[in-house]
Structure 1
Amino acid sequence: MILLMQFCVLGFATAPFEIETPAMPDPIPAPWLTYHLAHPGPSKAVPADPNCAIYYGGKYHLHYIYQSHGASFAHVTSDDMVHWEWQETILTPPLAGHGMFSGTALLTKEGKAAIIYHGADSDRNHIAFAKNDALSQWTKPMAVEPRTADGKPADMRHWDPDCWRIGDTYYALSGGEDPTIATSKDLKNWLFQGVLFHPDFPADLGVAREEDVSCANMFKLGDKWMLLCISHGLGARYYLGDFQDGQYLPDHHALLNWAGWDLFAPESLLTPDGRRVMWAWSTPGVFVDQRVARTKKFDRLMEELQSGIQSLPRELSLDDDGMLEIRPLRELTQLRTHQKEVEDITIKSGDTQVLEDMEGDTIELEVVFDAPQASEFGLRILANAKGENGFKIASGTDRDTITLDYVELPFRLKDGEDLTLRIFIDKGMIEVFANDRQAAVAWHEYEPENQHIALYANGADVKVNKVTCWSMKSIY
């Protein structure tokens, strides 16, 4: 629905303009993804960073950047984080007075929803407060202007912000290289505290203290504070650590992305039952030079797929050793249909076995390898009828990675450990979760007749305890 109106929903009058509500075309193009959230148009979603996610007023709310009168926040709502409904685009330059760039949502001390974000072309970060439970009306944006203890404007970069609360104090991060932090009691008056990272930032963390911190999202995860973010050269990544002397001291850093912008601009929310759930923008296109270059370009996919593709929602938690666990959102199981399974398969070394009556390009697979000892084993998906070509997923003993075609995903099996892979195939988009502690997004161009699944092994026989396959229903 497109309306021509004069609006005051952000607290001030504006000139008439068209309010856009993104909508799926009818019919939906055949190559489009079926169970990933992706922008339907009519405008393009470039970039398509997810932003300002929150559970509020009995609904899940997610915003993402797209182009409508400039950089705007599309607004989608859901009861289950699986099926989404587009709302009117209210957070847009004609109403806000600036474009909408990276930001997050928060609950105030009073339990009201607010958003903090970077105002494109304003050189400032801004806060706005929801005026209703539907998040369809907002106050006029208010610039975040930290001052030093002597009342002078802070010498800082105003860039991708985040805001969180510890006790009765709000903390606001401003991103970029060596990000800064400010504090407030009321979200209006901000005291500049200096750089975010503690002086004892570990030299052996595997990343420089000055690395770009953009699309930042800080939250408590277990007994750690997690900083979910990107650098523009690396894509999605995270720190785990704690606050010391008012500054963030990480003790762990790892990537969530290993090729191009396959996973970029992460954002998360807290569910009513206490789960931390994240999304990230995923695109086969690369717009700047990457330190994690991709060997494939996927030009045809870029022409066929929707713009603004979001990854499947992931549940984040910490294990007993304080390491990150990553699982697909449990609500995704409601999309499963037509279950098929086969048990107790032995793949002889050097053999390839095509699974009968298991194929498709809109499916979920769960494959359990029994403590494998082969130097290489795995499967090929979207393969031909002989199990050849296709997208290879490979592991092996004494390996520190799982191969996902063009991606080497850091992962090592423990002694005697089974390997459980959950594989989501949605046309040319593939997501793989390994033993709940690693996950990746990848892409594959395939011919429509190549939808077969084949298991293989080299160096030793491999036993497969079970393969389960489900067709996945559309979310649209």
Structure 2
Amino acid sequence: MMKKKYLGLIVGYLIGMEVVYSQNQKDYTSKVPQTTFSNTLKKQEKELKENALLKRFAQSRQELSVDKHRPFYHFISPEGRLNDPNGLCYWQGNWHLFYQAYPPEDPRQHWGHAMSKDLINWKDLPLAIYPNPESKVFSGTTYVEENRVIAMYHGTDAGTMVAVSDDPLLLNWKKLNDGKPVIALPKPGEKLPYNVFDPNIWKKDGVYYTVLAGTRPIGPGGKNMRAEFLFKSSDLEHWEYMHPFLEDDVYGLVGDDGACPYFWPIGDKGKYILLHFSHKSGGKYLIGDYDKQRDKFVVTDGGNFNHGPVSRGGVHAPSAFPDGKGGVIALFNMNSGKPLGGKNGFSELMTLPRLLTLDEKGRLEMKPVGDIESLRKDKVEQQNVVLPANKEIVLEKVKGDAMEINMEIDLKKSPVIELNVLRSPNKEEYTRIIFYKDGGYPDKESSDRKGRYSAIAIDNSNGSILPNVWPRVTETADVWLEKNEPVKLRIFIDKSVVEVFVNDKQCISVRTYPGRDDSKGVSIIAKGSEALLKSIQAWQMKSIY
């Protein structure tokens, strides 16, 4: 009888605490309409045709298409702005992209949602995850199991949240742990040995793991540097803190915070990559060895996707998922190079997806991925164009503001090739792409220490005559080329975006905003000595909307 009495008291106490907890929580229910969909593909497709939110998205896309800086083939939100991409994954024949959306009637972060068969042609879907009990649905990742997809994300004013979906198009999401955070924010005055921030989820030996992003005062003079805090769980609801995850990490800046982490195997030699974001220096990565006995990530290499300060037109946060062949597919959002403007505040957008792989020396390589070719039209081609020293050659047949340009250049003895895109006829506006042969850092890491990296740069300081555009500090990145390797540039121009891939090894991306309607030209200059433009192919690009 006593045991039953005390059991009753305990149950009553817990119920009371739950009532108090519920009373203390604000109601963050979204003002955006939410629909529960059927669980079969045929019914879902029928319901989507009549979905009011999707009809609204379609109308909004049409209205916003008049914005001259709104891209044709880079993903943008159907209405309002977007921020971090979240939880890129492949499920039942479709790629799914989630992202922080700001619906106009309730501009707190929700998880927006789009899907694609080919990573290029995206189809809008209704919002996926809505706030409540969290005030905003912040960044997170997904993990695909045989029978469901798990989303783990940061819920503002709540903590780490977990939601699951198992329907064909991932339209219905259920939050676990009765909708409460699975790793709670610290109570007022509580000091924890970890931060509760952006999570990443994976599975090892039947156990779920996550790292939460943050910082620790481990830098010079006790300054903060990035850290990733490791937890494990057997059921997704009860998580045990283990320890800081990174070891031998010397590839960051003081002040980097390791946000938006994505941890995946890469290559065929047992390496792993940790993509992440710094609120100081933008998109970054670490490569290393996953010590599964000690549950540590031992860092052996690292680098940047963004090559300068985080803001003003640079590459922002990643989202990534394995391609099933040893590579990792990643895309990023790009932040704005001007104040928010236009209807619903259009600003950020997504980069093209990139396939990340490792070369024979373990260096990260990247190239565009997806059915880009499906967008090409009106091809223009030239061969063997001699580039006299220091003379600007205007490529009269190559012009446009939504284009793909592929070119191969034999630099011969020229140290620098400069390409001007989005160029007005008299160069009132132009964005410079510069390739510096052997102009990067010396190779001091290899055993023979021979050679020097080349460098690729984008300078948009002359990209716009508009008064409200912020030029970006010149974006410059190293790229390794062998001694006689020709330079192969693949350039994507899309209204306010320029992305340049070099020999499938490096990529730099910048926002730029021409103000003139005639800023569509292309020119090329070989500095110092003659060079040869061996080939150039250019296409106009169709809109994906």
Q: Same fold (TM over 0.5)?
A: yes
Aligned counterparts of 1:454 and 1:5: Cα–Cα separation in 2:
50
Tell me how large the CA RMSD over aligned residues is: 2.7
Task: Give the count of matched residue pairs.
Answer: 438
Aligned counterparts of 1:263 and 1:81: Cα–Cα separation in 2:
19
Aligned counterparts of 1:5 and 1:334: Cα–Cα separation in 2:
34
The structural deviation recorded for 1:72 is: 0.3
What residue in structure 1 maps to residue 536 of structure 2? 467
What is the letter of the counterpart of residue 382 of structure 2?
Answer: V
1:115 equivalenced with 2:166 (yes/no): no
What residue in structure 1 maps to residue 113 of structure 2? 75
Which of 472, 479, 482 aligns to 1:414? It is 482
What is the letter of the counterpart of residue 359 of structure 1?
Answer: K
What residue in structure 2 maps to residue 102 of structure 1? 139
1:448 equivalenced with 2:517 (yes/no): yes
Aligned counterparts of 1:221 and 1:425: Cα–Cα separation in 2:
29
- What CA deviation, in whole Å up to 9, does each residue of 1:374-419 have, x standing for no partner? 1322211122336785111112333113221132223354322211
What residue in structure 1 maps to residue 251 of structure 2? 206
SS of equivalent to 2:406? strand
SS of equivalent to 2:371? helix
1:178-189 equivalences in 2 (<5 Å): 178-189=227-238
- What CA deviation, in whole Å up to 9, does each residue of 1:202-257 have, x standing for no partner? 5xx33269841101100011131100001100100000001222111111110110
Which of 289, 295, 302 aligns to 1:242? It is 289
Which of 363, 366, 371 aligns to 1:326? It is 366
Is the alpha carbon distance of 1:250 and 1:383 closer, same or farther for their aligned partners in structure 2, counting shifts above 3 Å? same
1:29 equivalenced with 2:66 (yes/no): yes
What is the letter of the counterpart of residue 376 of structure 2?
Answer: R
- What CA deviation, in whole Å up to 9, does each residue of 1:288-307 have, x standing for no partner? xxxxxxxxxx45x9559833
What residue in structure 1 maps to residue 85 of structure 2? 50
Aligned counterparts of 1:270 and 1:464: Cα–Cα separation in 2:
36
1:233-312 equivalences in 2 (<5 Å): 233-244=280-291, 245-259=294-308, 260-261=310-311, 262-271=314-323, 275-285=327-337, 298-299=338-339, 303=342, 306-312=346-352
What is the letter of the counterpart of residue 534 of structure 2?
Answer: N
The structural deviation recorded for 1:322 is: 1.1
Which of 122, 145, 153 aligns to 2:183? It is 145
TM-score scaled by length of structure 2: 0.75
- What CA deviation, in whole Å up to 9, does each residue of 1:39-75 have, x standing for no partner? 121xx225x1000111112211111102233210111
What residue in structure 2 maps to residue 126 of structure 1? 161
SS of equivalent to 1:403? strand
Percent of aligned pairs with the same amino acid: 25
CA contact (8 A) 1:394 1:402 kept: yes
Q: Which runs of 4+ in 1 moved over 4 A?
A: 2-9, 18-21, 272-275, 301-305, 386-389
CA contact (8 A) 1:3 1:19 kept: no
What residue in structure 2 maps to residue 355 of structure 1? 395
Aligned counterparts of 1:134 and 1:242: Cα–Cα separation in 2:
35
What is the letter of the counterpart of residue 219 of structure 1?
Answer: W
Aligned counterparts of 1:413 and 1:140: Cα–Cα separation in 2:
49
1:216 equivalenced with 2:216 (yes/no): no
SS of equivalent to 2:97? strand
Aligned counterparts of 2:31 and 2:277: Cα–Cα separation in 1:
36
CA contact (8 A) 1:106 1:113 kept: yes
TM-score scaled by length of structure 1: 0.85
Aligned counterparts of 2:426 and 2:134: Cα–Cα separation in 1:
58
Which of 405, 408, 413 aligns to 1:368? It is 408
The structural deviation recorded for 1:8 is: 7.0
Structure with larger Rg: 2
Q: Please, which runs of 5 or more residues in structure 1 have no aligned partner?
A: 10-17, 147-152, 286-297
Aligned counterparts of 1:107 and 1:413: Cα–Cα separation in 2:
37
CA contact (8 A) 1:371 1:417 kept: no
Q: Please, which runs of 5 or more residues in structure 2 have no aligned partner?
A: 1-29, 38-50, 185-190, 216-226, 441-454, 460-473
